[in-house]
Amino acid sequence: MSRSTRTLDDILYPPLEPLRSGHLQVDGRHSLYWETSGNPAGIPVIFVHGGPGAGTSPRSRRYFDPARYHIVLLDQRGSGQSTPLGDCQDNSTDRLIADFEQLREMLGIERWLVFGGSWGSTLSLAYAQAHPQRCLGLVLRGIWLGTQEEIDWWLYGVRNIFPREWEAFAGFIPEAERGDLLGAYQRRLTHTDPAVYLPAARAWARYEGACIYLRPQPESVAAMTDDTAALGMGRLEAHYFAHQAFLRPGQLLDGVPAIRHLPAIIVHGRYDVICPVRYAHALADAWPQARLVVVPDAGHSSYEPGIAAELVAATDRFAATGRLV
């Protein structure tokens, strides 16, 4: 079967059910959904989801050979099945990193492979740089370094590629407020009235969903604009954008020396509009020991066949050899 005719189900491992699941109470406010699947004696791997706020899904388990991996999924604060949904209070990058450590210790895992895409790549890099001794390696996809330049691109620059989609996104906001789209959306997303925050969340998610694939996927837009998914992503993305992902300028590139010794692969779609490929090259330039794979026929989503194939090949390679390069 040629690469061009392979479907996502041809590439990913078959669906599987969790072995264990539960909620981890990380403070007086946040309770985080977690689960494990695959082989409890296998290589531990933590799936770091994107967004922020997107949460995990059953497909998140399928990038890993269940016979060789102990697969750990976690819905970050305010995301997915974690509660409270869309809650921005006590929600920052440092707290998410601490949550990973609390979950790792609870599960009795000494070190794990860190697998993250989009915002998940940001958080994976921040986590690994804070706790390199707890990482076996990194599989990163759709690099986002959390810079103001990248935030401005998402809010305004994408109109150069998806003008009608951006016009709908900006047009949701009254003209007098469009000079600060982030502030205008954040005021609505954090409003107490569902009649105010839900339409704003749907408009935010519709914009992102329309731009995420190389080829339009209407079903993806429909899934992302579901009220639960839209609220988690809209509120938390705006929250993290407003705080530059709670990172110092240049933090993730400056922190590469702490993780330079770890096996790593960077997978990025050539036509990724959400996270332009130049930032993947910037990370690879700072980290020449990592392997950069630019998928020529893909946008941003990990569910595009070319990207999924590279991610599965990477986890298979690591399971077989302990290397990603």
pLDDT for position 231: 94
How far apart are the C-alpha atoms of 53 and 155, rounded to whole Å? 17
CATH number of the structural domain spanning residue 280: 3.40.50.1820
* 141 and 251 assigned to the same domain: yes
Whether 272 is catalytic is yes
* 141 and 280 assigned to the same domain: yes
Answer with the one of 216, 245, 274 that is the final residue of a domain: 245
Residue 245's pLDDT band (cuts 50, 70, 90): very high
Residue 219's pLDDT band (cuts 50, 70, 90): confident
SS3 294: strand
- Which domain, by its residues, includes 273? 3-147+246-321
* 97 and 162 assigned to the same domain: no
pLDDT for position 3: 53
Residue 227's pLDDT band (cuts 50, 70, 90): confident
* 9 and 127 assigned to the same domain: yes
Q: What is the DSSP string of 8-40?
A: HHHHSPPP---SEEEEEE-SSS-EEEEEEEE-T
* 297 and 212 assigned to the same domain: no
Whether 118 is catalytic is yes
Is there a contact between 138 and 291 (Cβ–Cβ < 8 Å)? Answer: no
Answer with the one of 192, 224, 245 that is the final residue of a domain: 245
* 204 and 235 assigned to the same domain: yes
Residues 6+ apart with CB under 8 A from 110: 134
Average pLDDT value for residue range 311-319: 98
* 185 and 291 assigned to the same domain: no
How far apart are the C-alpha atoms of 256 and 270, rounded to whole Å? 23
pLDDT for 104 beyond 80: yes
pLDDT for position 216: 77
Q: Is the dihedral of CA 144, 30, 61, 290 positive or negative?
A: positive
Start-end of H helices in the chain: 8-11, 93-107, 119-130, 148-155, 163-171, 181-189, 194-211, 218-224, 227-242, 251-254, 278-286, 305-321
pLDDT for position 243: 97
Residues 6+ apart with CB under 8 A from 134: 101, 104, 110, 111, 112
Strands 135-141 and 291-295: unpaired
* 39 and 154 assigned to the same domain: no
- Catalytic hit among 239, 300, 301, 302: 300
How far apart are the C-alpha atoms of 279 and 19, rounded to whole Å? 37
Residue 1's pLDDT band (cuts 50, 70, 90): very low
| pLDDT, mean over the chain | 95
pLDDT for 275 beyond 60: yes
Whether 300 is catalytic is yes
pLDDT for 2 beyond 90: no
How far apart are the C-alpha atoms of 56 and 75, rounded to whole Å? 6
Answer with the one of 195, 212, 245 that is the final residue of a domain: 245
* 141 and 237 assigned to the same domain: no
* 294 and 196 assigned to the same domain: no
- Catalytic hit among 75, 87, 99, 272: 272
pLDDT for position 222: 67
* 134 and 76 assigned to the same domain: yes
pLDDT for 4 beyond 80: no
Residues 6+ apart with CB under 8 A from 278: none
- Catalytic hit among 60, 79, 118, 124: 118
Domain count, the chain: 2
* 169 and 315 assigned to the same domain: no
pLDDT digits (tens, 9 = 90+) for 117-173: 999 999 999 999 999 999 999 999 999 999 999 999 999 999 999 999 999 999 999
What proportion of the chain, given as a percentage, has pLDDT over 70?
A: 97
pLDDT for position 256: 98
